[in-house]
Structure 1
Amino acid sequence: MPIYLLQHLFIISLTSTIICQTNFGHAYNLCQDDQKILLLELKKELKFSSFVARKLVQWNKSDDCCEWEGVGCDAAGHVVSLQLDNQGISGGIENSSSLVSLDYLEKLNFAHNSINGSIPTLNLSNLIELDLSSNQLNGPISDSFINLVSLEVLSLSNNLFTGIFQLQNIQKLHNLTTLNLSQNNFSIDAAGSISSQIKKLSLSSCNLQKFPDFLKQSNLNFLDLSHNQITGEIPSWIWEMGNGDLYHLNLSYNALIDLQKPFHIPNFLAELDLHSNQLRGELPLLPQGASYVDLSHNKFDRHIPLNFVSFNFFLIFLSIANNSISGSIPTCICSAEAIQLVDISFNNLSGSIPPCLVERMSSLEIFSLRRNNIGGDIPDKFPTSCSLRILDLNNNNLGGNLPKSLANCKSLEFVSVGENNIGGNFPCMLPSRLKVLVLRSNRFGGEVKCGWPNLQIVDISSNNFSGDLHHLSFSTWNKMTLHSDANMNHESLGINIVRPDLEYLAQVTLTIKGLQFELHKIWIKFTSLDFSCNNFHGEIPEAIGDLSLLHLLNLSNNALTGPIPKSLGNLRELEALDLSVNQLAETIPVELTRLTFLGILNVSYNKLVGRIPRSPQFSTFGNDSYIGNTGLCGYPLSVSCRDYGN
């Protein structure tokens, strides 16, 4: 064929393609009329918040319903998928005539709404996936879903279902591969068997008291039995489920005491969660394919095995916190090249920090050795590629100085090295992203001349710091001022790691009126400043009054002089104020009566004089708040101001 004819045919073909694509994209309406009518009726039947339902609010008569967000169609224009999760839907759906009339529906998702009532009777023979999780559905689970013969995925988790559910009813769903009944108010009758097709089973919080017998013959590769009342040993057969293809096992929050021996954890088990049981003895060796391992909050009490971690290239999360593990930290943990979190806190470990573990900080984001007996110096080997965000070495026997190479960790947000024997100057080399700094009860000294704009918790108490607080530019500590983001009221200081649904929450110890409190969840807007038990002198800067979001302020046990600044009356969020054991003089400023949230006040053992201010808030403070100030008078003291004349 001549070349010019080929060119001509190509142009004709290209033109036809463009015309077809244009007609299909703009002129051709794929959605069937009856399907659009049913969907618009469904929209009328549903109660939803127009501020949340970004999908439903856009459904209208003029557009092709197959183009509506949340709607999927087949080639013939039949609706086969409805994804209406997170739409602020409330009320019931059991009486929806339009929903049960969508005969071609294959996927139905109403998860994460506020739907109540019972499950609608669905006779949708084509339905493959049904997700009604995270709603307020209640009552017993009816048998109506047994008619869904094509069903492969069923999720009814996080609802309010009651009664007893016969798990063997699931046997009739021959195609079912995924079943999630977790987090309800019913009990599971696990007698009998289930379909061998099921690969993923979640029965968390189902009041189970033993391992169901059917698991022995199951083909599961994913099993969640957490938050039950299962006792005794973890049976050795559980590791053989799925013919060795088990990749996820969660038995946390039970009353398990041991691993039945002999046992062989399959090498390709990726996620192992046994935390919050009563497991004892020696830690099990980790499989080489493990990526997430949580053995925390148990009773393991032996040394960490030298081959605990063996050349693992997948391990990201490792927690053995809150046990009674002794001995030293083995260097085998350093072989986990991708590790992001290591939490060995609240144990009885001794020895020193392996230098190779610090060198691994190029991947490690969270490292906690809190409350052990670790000694020696912190290795000065933090790499230039350091990714560390949380460093918690609180309450150990560490000495030396904070390593200068810590300056390489540009992402550091949380540093807690309190309750050690660390010395040196104030660590001004730490990065600007720092939010929490705890140096309490160490041997730090010198002047404090720097700060960070994102600081929200500072505890440098019980050290040898000295100098004048006027050297600090408190007005630039933005996280403690009114300029902070007001939309963060209910967020906490945590880091998502491994997967979006897993958040690691840092914790700190606060001292209020001499008592220590563990703060296990740090709200983003919680701020505190503790400079107590040092050698600071001079007057309290007026600039501290700029820290208007401050909740706790402790400047006690120093050598501060002069008056209490009136600007402290601007700290409208303040809940605790401790200025005791200083040399403060003059009167207590009446501006402090504006602090309506103030629950703790201590100005004892100073040189204050005059009348104690009167206010509903001040009337709640007792004598202990003012003792040691011989010049004070008025309630609650027994000394009347008349005795002092003017």
Structure 2
Amino acid sequence: MLSNLMLLFISILVSSFIFTTHSYNNKCLRHQEILLLQLKDELIFNSSLSTKLVRWNESGECCKWHGVECDASGYVVSLQLDGEAISGGVGDSSSLFRFKYLQKLNLAYNDFGYTHHIPKGIGNLTYLTHLNLSNAGFVGQVPSEISSLTRLASLDISANSLNLEHPNLEMLVQNLTELRELHLDGVNMSSFHERKSQGHIISSHLPNLTTLSMVGCGLYGPLPQSFWQLHSLSILRLDENDLSAVALHDLVSNFPSLATLTLSDCRLKGCIPSTFANLTKLIHVDLSHNSLTGSLPSTFFEGLSNLFHLNLMANIFSGNIPQSLFALPSLLELDLSYNQFNGTFQLDNFRSLPNLTLLDLSGNSLSVDAGNVNSSSYGGLQLKSLSLASCNLSKFPDFIKHLDLKALNLANNQIAGEIPSWVWGTQLDHLDLSLNLLTDMQKPYHIPACLQAIRLESNQLKGELQLSIPVESQLHYIDVANNLLSGELQLHIPFISDVRYLSLSHNNLNGSIPTFLCNATHPSSLDLSGNILSGSIPPCLLANIFALDLSRNNISGNIPDIFPMDCGLNYLDLNNNTLEGKIPKSLEHCKWLEYMNVGNNMMNDTFPCMRTSTLRVLVLHSNGFHGHVRCHISWPNLQILDISSNHFSGSLESINFSSWMAMELPGDEKLRGGP
């Protein structure tokens, strides 16, 4: 009887515990809620860009606040605060480090401005299993406190401005034996010895890694034998390192589980082994910007049925593109540009790749045949980006009209005649038709609001330019240089404009500079050089300009003396005009000015001694500058000074030439031809 009562009591107790646990599941504890609100008050963030922190308040269950997760007992175990425009407020004593049971912390894609260190208080979070501080703008030494987070399974401190010295890499990871994912992209390993031994350090202490990303970490020399023991790797990113001593065969042989392999800009040489097809789990491959040679093996793509992304651009591959490529139904992106592939290529082949969204064959020795240009059968393709620059095209491939492209590049072909109106599409954001034989634009045409860049440079477009940019346009980049455009400039730019680069150089445009060019709402670059424009410089043009080139025109008058206090001007070229007067005093507001050329004008002034430490090029030749050349300002970056053909007098003793350090030859080098 007693035993039955005991069993009943235990049963009631267990039931009560289960009920209690269930009732409080994800119910935020009051002291955790207070900590969350304290953390929000401490953090400095842009409320207009925040989607999580800005919505934290005392109403509602705090475990359901955006970016917050709790365990069954109501303790906060996950804070996902990535992309919250946080710029400060995380010190060593921050409330953040009082969440003692926190397991996952994500502060990626914030903006600490490269002025904040990773706080040492991070070491208090001993329950952490996932820590992501990538792309957040942290600076300085990686704190040793991270090495005490022995439960970490994933660590990402990539894309900051961080150093690993004290602790070094080995000190950092020797206690992190649970790590499965390690991201160190861009972390500076200052010791040459350590940069050579990184592979050994990682394989010795972290044998069970599944993800390793060390882009731009200074890896050097042959990888140690122990590195090939990381057989569990499924993601390997070693871009921008010197792996010239590494053979691709070793990668193929030792990492059978690879799903992602990126080795861009690693100085790789040699051929791709036919055994590459044995990596049957591959999804993403990037071997671009290397010196890989030979033809692609016919068996290269056999077995890679899961491949989504393939980037082989900027190598030295030659021969034909193998037919086995067209048997990859999952392929989304294919970039074979800037190699030495040759022969005639039938675009019909890609109809067997219905999921393809990006295709780039530019810069080879291919002659691309668009097949039956009257066929609408291409309409089933999902292509969004098509680049066929330097592909020996003589006309616009008609199948393009059946696609809904976002980017189209047909530069450097032999396409003649007018630009058909259907080229503009509805979703196009980048269009490059430069270096062809185009003469006109078919009308009517409609520039889609999402278009960001137009490049029509070096064609034979003639007559007046009558581009009408819609008010809602996102157009950033317009280049119509080196054509036969004439008459007055008739480009219609709305008052609220997003244009940031406009080049109409080397045409035959005349008349005055229109004031609608002042409508840009962002610091912009304007190149009108090599025309026959006349009149004066509109003062409004200088209010919001980054680079200005009005050289080789007939522009007269003075340079307006109205450069704003927050001037962002970097490049100014006014040479070969008929400008008069003086160098404006307000130009000293342009603290970032690097290049100034006012040569071949009619200016009458003394030597301009501007307080601009960034200046690299100063050209004053063939004007009426006069007096002594005196300047006590330090120009440490100055590399070119041309004051010839003026009326300067006196000596040059007052010039502090020793401050022009950028003109010095490095080390003990001597000028060519010297003793």
- TM-score, scaled to structure 2: 0.67
Cα deviation for residue 369 of structure 1 reads 3.4
Change (3 A) 1:303 1:68: same
Match for residue 108 of structure 1?
A: 105
1:75 aligns to 2:72 (yes or no): yes
Deviation at 1:234, TM superposition (A): 3.4
Deviation at 1:54, TM superposition (A): 6.8
Work out whether 1:312 is the aligned partner of 2:309.
no
CA distance in structure 1 between the aligned counterparts of 2:513 and 2:173, rounded to whole angstroms: 72
In structure 2, relative to structure 1, the CA distance for the partners of 1:116 and 1:171 (3 Å cut) is closer
Match of 1:288 among 305, 326, 329: 305
Distance (whole Å) between structure 2 residues aligned to residue 41 and residue 83 of structure 1: 16
Once the two structures are TM-superposed, the CA of residue 249 in structure 1 deviates from its matched residue by 0.8
Select the residue among 363, 387, 397 that pairs with 2:382: 363
- 1:545 touches 1:567 (CA, 8 Å); kept in 2? no
Corresponding residue number in structure 2 for 1:576: 548
Residues 334 and 267 (structure 1), Cα distance of their counterparts in 2 relative to 1, 3 Å cut = farther
CA contact (8 A) 1:181 1:202 kept: yes
Trace 1:469-618 onto structure 2 (pairs within 5 A).
469=488, 472=490, 474=491, 476-478=492-494, 481=495, 483-484=496-497, 525-530=499-504, 532-534=506-508, 539-540=511-512, 551-554=525-528, 556-557=530-531, 564-565=534-535, 568-572=538-542, 573=544, 575-578=547-550, 580=552, 588-590=556-558, 599-602=572-575, 604=577, 612-616=580-584
Give the aligned partner of residue 303 of structure 1: 319
Q: Which residues in structure 2 correspond to 1:165-180 (within 5 Å)? A: 165-166=169-170, 169=173, 173-174=177-178, 176-180=179-183
Q: Which residue matches 1:128?
A: 129
Superimposed CA distance per residue, residues 29-81 of structure 1 (whole angstroms, 9 cap, x where no aligned partner)? 9333454465566668x554475777557666787543444332223222222
Contact 1:118/1:138 (<8 A) preserved: no
Q: What SS does the aligned partner of 1:254 have?
A: coil
| Equivalent residue in structure 1 for 2:218, among 201, 207, 210 | 207
Alignment correspondent of 2:629 = none
CA deviation map 1:85-113 (0-9, x unaligned): 345264665556x6666443332333345
Report Cα offsets for 1:573-597 as digits up to 9, x if no partner.
464354747xx7xx93458565785
Corresponding position of 1:379:
397
Aligned: 1:276 with 2:289: yes
CA drift of 1:305 comes to 1.9
In structure 1, C-alpha distance between the alignment counterparts of 2:422 and 2:50, rounded to whole Å:
50
1:302 CA displacement: 1.0
Is contact 2:505–2:530 with CA below 8 Å preserved after alignment? yes
Task: Give, in whole Å, the separation in 1 of the partners of 2:142 and 2:501.
Answer: 46
- Report the counterpart of residue 3 of structure 1 in structure 2: none
**3-state DSSP of counterpart to 1:116:** coil
Alignment of 1:22-421 (within 5 A): 30-36=27-33, 39=36, 48-49=44-45, 51=47, 64-87=61-84, 88=86, 90=88, 94=92, 102-113=99-110, 114=112, 116-117=117-118, 119-120=120-121, 122=123, 126-135=127-136, 136=138, 138-139=140-141, 142=144, 145=147, 148-149=150-151, 151-159=152-160, 160-163=162-165, 164-166=168-170, 169=173, 173-174=177-178, 176-186=179-189, 187=195, 189-191=198-200, 192-193=203-204, 197-209=208-220, 210-211=222-223, 213-239=226-252, 243=256, 245-259=257-271, 261-265=273-277, 266-283=279-296, 285-286=300-301, 287-298=304-315, 300-307=316-323, 309-331=325-347, 332-345=349-362, 347-355=363-371, 360=378, 363-370=382-389, 372=390, 374-384=392-402, 386-403=403-420, 405-406=422-423, 409-421=425-437
Report deviation, 1:359: 7.0
Contact 1:402 1:427 in 2 (8 A): no
Q: What SS is found at the alignment partner of 1:81? A: strand
Percent sequence identity is 24
Please give the secondary structure, in 2, of the residue aligned with 1:309: helix
SS for the counterpart of 2:323 is: coil
**In structure 2, distance between residues paired with 1:267 and 1:291:** 12
Cα distance between partner residues in 2 of 1:100 and 1:461? 57
Residues 205, 119 of structure 1: alpha-carbon distance in 2 compared, 3 angstrom cutoff:
farther
SS of corresponding position for 1:255: coil
* In structure 2, distance between residues paired with 1:447 and 1:117: 57
Q: Deviations over 1:287-339 (max 9, x none)?
A: 333222222233x1413423262233332222233444444445344533222
Deviation at 1:248, TM superposition (A): 0.8
Q: Which ranges of structure 1 fall in alignment gaps of 5 or more residues?
A: 1-19, 485-523, 628-632, 641-646
Q: Go from structure 1 to structure 2 and tell me whether the alpha carbon gap of 1:580 and 1:353 turns closer, same or farther (over 3 Å shift).
A: farther
Q: Secondary structure at the match of 2:365?
A: coil
**226 and 304 in structure 1: CA distance in 2 versus 1, 3 angstrom threshold:** same
Please tell me whether the aligned partners of residues 147 and 175 of structure 2 are also in contact (alpha carbons under 8 angstroms). Answer: no
Per-residue CA deviation, residues 548-577 of structure 1 (Å, 9 max, x unaligned), is 67742527456x7xxx34583432346435
Distance 1:208 1:461, change over 3 A: closer
Measure, in 2, the Cα distance between the counterparts of 1:378 and 1:264.
37
Q: Which stretch shows the higher mean deviation, 185-194 or 264-273?
A: 185-194
Give the letter aligned to residue 165 of structure 1: L
Does the CA contact (< 8 Å) of 1:425 and 1:446 recur in 2?
Answer: no
Is the 1:309–1:336 contact (alpha carbons within 8 Å) kept by the matching residues of 2? Answer: no
Find the aligned partners of 1:131 and 1:194 in 2 and give their Cα distance.
Answer: 21
For the Cα contact (< 8 Å) 1:309–1:335, is it kept in 2? no
Q: Is the 8 A contact 2:309 2:333 kept in 1?
A: yes
CA RMSD of aligned residues (A): 4.5
2:310 is paired with a residue whose SS is strand
Amino acid at match of 1:156: I
Q: Does the 8 A contact of 1:621 with 1:636 survive in 2?
A: no
Q: Is the CA contact (8 Å cut-off) linking 1:232 and 1:258 kept in structure 2?
A: no
Partner AA of 1:116 in structure 2: H
- Are 2:600 and 1:624 equivalent residues in the alignment? yes
Structure 1 residues 251 and 119: alpha-carbon distance in aligned structure 2, compared to 1, 3 A threshold: farther
Distance in 1, Cα, partners of 2:391 & 2:549:
33
Q: Is the 8 A contact 1:171 1:193 kept in 2?
A: no
Partner SS for 2:63: helix
Pairwise CA distance, 1:240: 5.3
CA contact 1:428–1:450 (8 Å) conserved in 2:
no
Displacement of 1:220: 1.8
C-alpha contact (below 8 Å) 2:132/2:155 kept by paired residues: yes
Quick one: structure 1 residues 458 and 344, their matched pair in 2 at CA, closer, same or farther if it must change by over 3 Å? Answer: same
Distance (Å, rounded) in 2 between the aligned partners of 1:636 and 1:144: 62
Paired residue type of 2:209: I
Q: Deviations over 1:494-520 (max 9, x none)?
A: xxxxxxxxxxxxxxxxxxxxxxxxxxx
Inter-partner Cα distance in structure 1 for 2:142 and 2:598? 55
The answer on whether the counterparts of 1:359 and 1:382 sit within 8 Å (CA) in structure 2 is: no
- Please report how far the alpha carbon of residue 387 of structure 1 lies from its aligned counterpart in structure 2 after TM superposition: 1.7
Distance 1:118 1:43 in 2: 17
- The TM-score, its normalising length taken from structure 1, stands at 0.69
Distance of 2:332 and 2:428 partners within structure 1: 19
When residues 59 and 431 of structure 1 are mapped into structure 2, their CA distance, relative to the original with a 3 A threshold, is closer
Aligned residue pairs, count? 541
CA distance in 1, matches of 2:175, 2:204: 7
* Unpaired stretches in structure 2, ≥5 consecutive residues: 1-18, 190-194, 588-595, 604-621, 627-644, 648-675
CA distance 1:71–1:382, shift in 2 (3 Å): closer
For 1:571 and 1:469, the matched residues in 2 are separated by: 18
C-alpha spacing 1:72/1:591, structure 2 compared with 1 (3 Å):
same
Q: Deviations over 1:514-561 (max 9, x none)?
A: xxxxxxxxxx54232416334x67x45856566567742527456x7x
